[in-house]
Amino acid sequence: MIRRAFADLPTRQVHYRRAGAAGGTPLILLHASPGSSKQLENLIAALGETRAVIAPDTPGNGDSTRLPLDAPEIADYAAATLEFLDAMGLATVDVYGSHTGASIATELAILAPDRVRRVVLDGVGIFSEEERTEYLANYAPAVTPDLTGSHLQWAFLFCRDQYLFWPWFRRDAANSRAAGLPTAQALHNWTLEVLKAIDTYHLGYRAAFGYRKDQRLPLVKSEILAISAADDPLLPNTRQIETLVPGATFKILPKTSAPGFMAELSGAITAFLDS
Q: What is the pLDDT of residues 253-272, one digit of tens each?
A: 999 999 999 999 999 999 99
Distance CA 103, CA 68 (A): 20
- Do the beta carbons of residue 138 and residue 169 sit within 8 Å? yes
Q: What is the pLDDT of residues 73-100, one digit of tens each?
A: 999 999 999 999 999 999 999 999 999 9
- For domain 3-274, give its CATH number from 3.90.320.10, 3.40.50.1820, 3.10.310.30, 3.30.700.30: 3.40.50.1820
Percent share of the chain, pLDDT over 70: 100
- Do the beta carbons of residue 33 and residue 158 sit within 8 Å? no
Q: What is the pLDDT of residues 219-237, one digit of tens each?
A: 999 999 999 999 999 999 9
In 46-144 the beta strands, taken as DSSP E runs, fall at 53-56, 93-98, 116-122
Whole-angstrom Cα Rg for the chain? 17
pLDDT at 23: 79
pLDDT at 269: 98
pLDDT at 21: 83
Distance CA 275, CA 259 (A): 26
Distance CA 160, CA 179 (A): 12
Distance CA 113, CA 94 (A): 11
- Do the beta carbons of residue 264 and residue 238 sit within 8 Å? no
Burial of residue 204, with CB atoms counted within 10 A of its CB: 0-12 exposed, 13-18 middle, 19 or more buried:
buried
146: left (phi over 0), alpha (psi -120 to 50) or beta: beta
85: number of Cβ within 10 Å: 22
Q: What is the pLDDT of residues 124-181, one digit of tens each?
A: 999 999 999 999 999 999 999 999 999 999 999 999 999 999 999 999 999 999 888 9
Letter for the amino acid at 187?
Answer: L
pLDDT at 22: 76
Strands 27-30 and 3-8: unpaired
Phi, psi of 20 (to 5 degrees): 90, 175
